[in-house]
Amino acid sequence: MKRFKDQIISELEKIKSDGLLRKMDILESGDFPYITVNGRHYINFSSNNYLALNGHKLIKEAMSQATEKYGTSASASRLISGNIEIFEQAEAILALFKGKESALIFNSGYQANLSVISTLFNEKDVIFSDELNHASIIDGCRLSKAKIFVYRHNDMNHLEDILQSTDGRRKVIITDGVFSMDGDIADLPQICYLAERYDAIVIVDDAHSTGVLGVNGAGTESHFGLKNDYIFVLGTGGKALGGGGAFFCCPKYVRDYLINRCRGFIYSTALPPSVPAGLIAAINIIKNETVRVSRLKELSLYIHKALKRLNINTSSAPSHITPIIIGDSLKTLNLAQNLLKNHIYVKAIRPPTVPPNTSRIRISLTSLHTEADIDKLISLLSPTAKEINVYESKRA
């Protein structure tokens, strides 16, 4: 026991000395655009509540009504006695929302990626994965035991090179729709072209695209005006949709296969019935309150222009996710702490969340932020950025 304790403490000290130690803050309010932490009020630029639907009256009402009708828990996996009708209703609506034949709800985006990828593919198959894909995709690929080829971020020439030289029983190209730490969008039209040419399917993780991109927030595929049966899409409910859970949209035969073979689905107690009820309400709100999406786009352009004027190293195009890429972990941590002192709530994003030497401040916008909120951030960033040599950093 002593050896174990000493080893763990030693590893923690190393994490701390490298500027990579993480701690959890306790929010005294919900995760809204304006929050309270330890009695201090902040403008929150760290939330994925992009459309500010968290706490929306209609979502709360829908979740409350579902709780009254069905109870507070599904109490079992859906293959036992937990397949309450609201799940099937939500899946039909989510599939229609994404333009797919069917959908299957999972407890979280991480669980969905881990479970779906490792179910559909094995050591006989080949996976082509963008180097900046989310950790849940990476872990799902590893668990599948398929041959994994990582292509350079959004580099379609590199992707084609490895597609040409590799074969397997099944081939799949997996990518984020909007990349969670960079805010850029996958080149889905070219990915689809290559998928058709080399007989592969495509899985798109739309966690940060759902509700934000495309017609009525339908996501990356809709954003590019694509509609292909070989594109399977993951969406999450805990970000722009203001609820919880996740959903995988695919052909019905794939859904049927997952129900029979997917361990992460088969052996998990279903979500509380209030969750799918909230997802249904969120989809209806997005369709009826389109100003939320348009407002988010306005703010994304506003902050992008402001950062470019300061010559700060950020994304190449406006996005609701806007990185300030610094490189050094300790400098990034110092910037985050300085902003916190001035009531701007941000987090220093450091390895292993991002590649080495690409530490950053990740600015997340919601439709309820204002230009004044962004102006305050910019006014604090300018002198602070000079002190920590943001201008000298190079994006990896």
pLDDT at 31: 85
> Which pLDDT tens digit goes with each residue over 7-32?
999 999 999 888 888 888 888 888 89
Given pLDDT bands bounded at 50, 70 and 90, which one contains residue 391?
A: very low
Instruction: For residues 85 and 228, give the distance between their C-alpha atoms in angstroms, rounded to a whole number.
Output: 29
Instruction: Encode pLDDT of 137-164 as tens digits.
Output: 999 999 999 999 999 999 999 999 999 9
Catalytic residue among 56, 223, 239, 347: 239
Q: Is 147 annotated in the active site?
A: no
- CA torsion 228→261→179→220, rounded to 10°? 20
Mean pLDDT, residues 300-304 taken together: 97
d(CA 347, CA 364): 10
With H, G, I as helix, E, B as strand and everything else as coil, classify residue 30: coil
Q: Which of 129, 180, 209, 367 is catalytic?
A: 180
Whether the Cβ atoms of residue 359 and residue 326 lie closer than 8 Å to each other: yes
Distance between CA atoms of residues 318 and 239, nearest Å = 19
The per-residue pLDDT for 318 is 94
Does the pLDDT at position 270 exceed 70?
Answer: yes
pLDDT band at 132 (very low <50, low <70, confident <90, very high): very high
pLDDT in tens, 322-348: 999 999 888 899 899 999 999 999 999
pLDDT digits (tens, 9 = 90+) for 164-188: 999 899 999 999 999 999 999 999 9
Residue 133, CA distances (Å) to 13, 207, 379 in order: 29, 11, 32
Cα–Cα distance for residue pair 203/250, rounded to 1 Å: 9
In whole angstroms, give the CA distance from residue 208 to residue 235: 8
For residue 249, how far is the Cα from the chain centroid?
16
Is 239 assigned a catalytic role? yes
Say whether pLDDT at 390 is over 70. no
**How far apart are alpha carbons 273 and 72 in whole angstroms?**
7
Pick the more confident residue, 392 or 111.
111
- Half-sphere exposure of residue 79: CA atoms within 13 angstroms, side-chain side: 13
> 317 φ, ψ to 5°?
-140, 155
Give all strands of the β-sheet with 344-345 in edge-to-edge order: 34-37, 40-44, 344-345
- Of 18 and 235, the structure prediction assigns the larger pLDDT to 235
Residue range 194-204: mean pLDDT, rounded: 97
**Mean pLDDT for all residues in the chain:** 94
What pLDDT does residue 392 have? 45
Residue 287 annotated among the catalytic residues of the structure = no
**Which pLDDT belongs to residue 395?**
41
Identify whether the C-beta of residue 237 lies closer than 8 Å to the C-beta of residue 249: no
At residue 45, the pLDDT reads 97
Q: Rounded to two decimals, what is the model's pTM?
A: 0.93
**Tens-digit pLDDT profile for residues 361-380:** 999 999 999 999 999 999 99
CA–CA separation, 86 and 280 (whole Å): 9
What is the reported pLDDT for 394?
Answer: 44
Mean pLDDT within 202-222:
96
**SS3 for 86?**
helix
Checking DSSP bridges between strand 359-364 and strand 321-327, what pairing results, if any?
A: antiparallel
Count of residues in the chain: 396
pLDDT of residue 76: 97
**∠ at Cα 152 (144, 117), nearest 5°?**
20
Q: What whole-number distance in Å separates Cα of residue 288 and Cα of residue 296?
A: 16
Name the residue with higher pLDDT: 386 or 326.
326
pLDDT for 101 equals 97
Instruction: Catalytic residue, from 100, 153, 208, 369: name it.
Output: 208
Quickly state the pLDDT bin for 385 (edges 50, 70, 90): low
Percent of the chain residues topping a pLDDT of 70? 97
- Two tokens at 63? 């979740």
Residue 391: exposure state from Cβ atoms within 10 A (0-12, 13-18, ≥19): exposed
For strands 201-205 and 171-176, give the pairing: parallel
- In percent, the amount of the chain with pLDDT more than 90 equals 86
